[in-house]
Amino acid sequence: MKKILFLSAVVTLLSGCAGSGNGELIGGTDRLVWNPTDPYGMVFIPQGSFVMGPSDQDVPFANVSTNQRVSVGAFYMDETEITNNEYRQFERWVVDSMIRTEMNVFKNNRGDTLLSKYVVNGDTLRLIDWNVRINTNDEEYKFLYDSLFIKTYVDGKPIKEEDNFIYRYEVLDVRSLSKSNKTDEEAIDQMDASTYRDNFVVEKEVKMYPSTLDYQSDYAYANNETDATFNYEHIAHDDYPVVGITWEQATAFSHWRTHIMNSFLRAQSEPLLPDFRLPTETEWEYAARGSLSQSPYPWGGPYTRNMRGCFLANFKPLRGNYVADGGLKAIKVRQYNPNNYGLYDMAGNVAEWTSTVYDETSGSYSHDMNSDNSYISENEDANVLKRKVTRGGSWKDISYFIQNSTRSYEYYDVSTSYIGFRCVMDFLGRDKEDFQ
């Protein structure tokens, strides 16, 4: 009995001192324990340093990259490109939100006004959260779906009105804001901090439905009608990488992915995660090498075949024998062995968007730590500012273009049948071992 009383007294004493620390500096005592877990479908890429740039001869004498040692912080990366079925979750979220908004559902279960806006037919509406489930009449839902997204039917098949698939969001241009803090002190004096930061909020409105006709429009005098009409929608292509995606759409997908993840964590009173985003060009090359410095390809050596003569990626080998590697065009993800980090298809299949602006001379001025050259492109910008780096090469490229270090680009508002994307997320810390 005396032991119980003594322990109770100790517990009471300690709990009473929790806020003060007995005068010692002990930090806040109400902090949650942080145990990072790998996001579903992503792999951990440890921090490191590598020589970025050509690991083999510059075959076309492009002279668009130079060797430089750079260091990269730890991050997570999708083990495959985003697939059609994964992108379809984004599509359905937007569709569901738009339909329920049309039904005048403007409040969630707590009665709070929903914040995310979008525009349909010139009317400013509001997105509702995917987690909010409202009981609706199925026929009313179908009627609204048809009125918003279906233009007509041909032989019983719906023809979708792709321009009506709208995702609108806002981002804070942190990079421009940080520069202004150093150069625009007078403006800060003239307005309060909240108003000043509002000047750097960028509103984006993106038509998020993939361009399903790229397989046809990219190649004149070629029979690709089946791919043009079935590549995205059909269940047979669920595990194929999504294509027909502009850089803007890939960025919007990353924003949406952050929203649904952190909305769930916030509801569970869990710490939030950093944003999902497109990888920088530096992160992409570092991850593609898989810790094999100076190697031309993700799998290691200088050859595109293994010891048994099998090709190690889906590209355009043997002077145009597309099928020699097992695929005519893009194929399912995970059909070739991953690199040392567990990443699939870092060479070939489809090329991948990065967040980096393409500049032939960027190697001469980029920082040697987490080097990047990002910019939020706008329609009125000069064309040179609209170029975004693509990496990895695709099913239509010869071996030079699927090398780790080969740089290419496409304009941010252009979609093709051979460019997809994958996401990354910053790791909060040095290494996972620090939290074990």
CA distance 217 to 233: 18
Residue found by looking up tokens 């200088």 in the block? 302
Tell me the domain boundaries of the chain.
50-83+211-436, 87-165, 173-202
pTM attached to this predicted model: 0.84
Contact call for residues 90 and 82 (beta carbons, < 8 A) = no
CA distance 260 to 416: 27
Residue found by looking up tokens 């806006």 in the block? 117
* Position with higher pLDDT, 119 vs 96: 96
pLDDT band at 362; cut points 50, 70, 90: confident
pLDDT band at 43; cut points 50, 70, 90: very high
pLDDT band at 366; cut points 50, 70, 90: confident
Contact call for residues 156 and 82 (beta carbons, < 8 A) = no
- Strands 117-120, 75-78: parallel, antiparallel or unpaired by DSSP? unpaired
Contact call for residues 360 and 63 (beta carbons, < 8 A) = yes
Query: In angstroms, what CA-CA distances link 80 with 169, 341, 348?
Result: 26, 12, 12
Q: What is the average per-residue pLDDT within 67-80?
A: 95
Mean residue pLDDT across the chain: 83
CA distance 380 to 153: 37
Q: Residue 380's pLDDT is what? A: 85
Cα 390-415-95 angle, rounded to 5 deg: 120
- Strands 351-357, 419-420: parallel, antiparallel or unpaired by DSSP? parallel
Cα 30-32-33 angle, rounded to 5 deg: 130
Residue 351 dihedral angles phi and psi, to the nearest 5°? -70, 170
pLDDT exceeds 80 at position 424: yes
* Position with higher pLDDT, 186 vs 80: 80
- Highest-scoring range by mean pLDDT, 64-73, 131-140, 335-344, 382-391: 335-344
CA distance 189 to 174: 19
Q: Residue 346's pLDDT is what? A: 98
Contact call for residues 275 and 254 (beta carbons, < 8 A) = yes
Residue 170 dihedral angles phi and psi, to the nearest 5°? -125, 140
Can you name the residues that pair with 114 across neighbouring β-strands? Answer: none
- Highest-scoring range by mean pLDDT, 41-45, 60-64, 376-380: 41-45
Q: What is the average per-residue pLDDT within 170-197?
A: 65
pLDDT in tens, 153-169: 888 778 888 888 999 88
* Position with higher pLDDT, 315 vs 12: 315
Query: In angstroms, what CA-CA distances link 217 with 161, 224, 416?
Result: 18, 9, 9
Q: Residue 236's pLDDT is what? A: 96
Q: Residue 183's pLDDT is what? A: 55
* Position with higher pLDDT, 18 vs 195: 195
Q: Which residues, 6 or more positions from 398, have their beta carbon under 8 angstroms from its beta carbon?
A: 315, 316, 317
Contact call for residues 435 and 34 (beta carbons, < 8 A) = yes
Torsion of CA 20, 21, 24, 27, to 10 degrees: -90
CA distance 173 to 198: 10
Out of 26-40, 116-130, 201-215, pick the least confident: 116-130
Contact call for residues 399 and 304 (beta carbons, < 8 A) = yes
Q: Fold for domain 50-83+211-436?
A: paralog of FGE (formylglycine-generating enzyme) (3.90.1580)
pLDDT exceeds 50 at position 131: no
pLDDT in tens, 234-289: 999 999 999 999 999 999 999 999 999 999 999 998 999 999 999 999 999 999 99
Q: Residue 14's pLDDT is what? A: 46
Q: What percent of the chain has pLDDT over 90?
A: 49
Q: What SS3 class is residue 118?
A: strand
* Position with higher pLDDT, 211 vs 11: 211
Contact call for residues 349 and 241 (beta carbons, < 8 A) = yes
Candidates 233, 180, 204, 162; CA nearest to 376 is 204
